[in-house]
Amino acid sequence: MTQCTKLKQGHKTLLPGLFLLHCPHGIPYGYEVKDDSESPNIPFSVSVSRFQVAPKIVIYDNACALPRCALNRNPGFFRETKFLVDRFHWHNHTGCCGGYNINAYDHLKTINTQVAGQQNATLVKLKSFISYQHQDNFFLLQTFLSFRNMTHSLQLREALTNCELIIKQLVSFLK
């Protein structure tokens, strides 16, 4: 069995990073401070602590390492979960089973696998602060995410309301 040799990066003195769990619309469900730049324990722990039922699909840049952790620690919870590597990170995986490649599944072609990266890009302004913090004093991040979630939710609600108005107009036009 060939092992994945995914390229890893990190910094020896700064925070290894944050793991944000997003819905498909880009709204974070929560975050966790990483112990290691590619630790599969983080998405495992965040999923188990945030969901009563495991997601059907988990898209993660290191998804090839996640099933071993998840299925060894809580097989019942993750028994129906499909673990996939996002499109942007797949090229870093060598010797990795093609079943983890989201591009192998035609019915998933329209999924934006970059939603986490796109949303995390908004954290660039906070990077110098966050890099030196620990989870117990992440007030700045919590405030930022709360505000961003609130505005993002309002935008989604407004878009839905606009769609509903258009549908009502079309229905009344067709009558």
- Reported as a single tens digit per residue, the pLDDT across 32-74 is 776 666 667 888 888 888 889 998 988 888 888 888 889 999 9
pTM over 0.85: no
Region of poorest pLDDT, from 28-42, 108-122, 141-155: 28-42
Query: Angle between the 66-73 and 41-50 helix axes, to the nearest 10 degrees?
Result: 50
Domain segments of the chain as ranges = 18-134
Question: What CA–CA distances, in Å, run from 170 to 115, 157, 161, 175?
Answer: 32, 20, 14, 9
Overall average pLDDT of the 18-42 stretch: 73
Q: Is the pLDDT of residue 4 over 80?
A: no
* Other beta carbons within 10 Å of 149: 14
Phi, psi of 84 (to 5 degrees): -135, 145
Please report, as a single letter, which amino acid is at residue 160.
L
User: In percent, how much of the chain has pLDDT > 70?
Assistant: 74
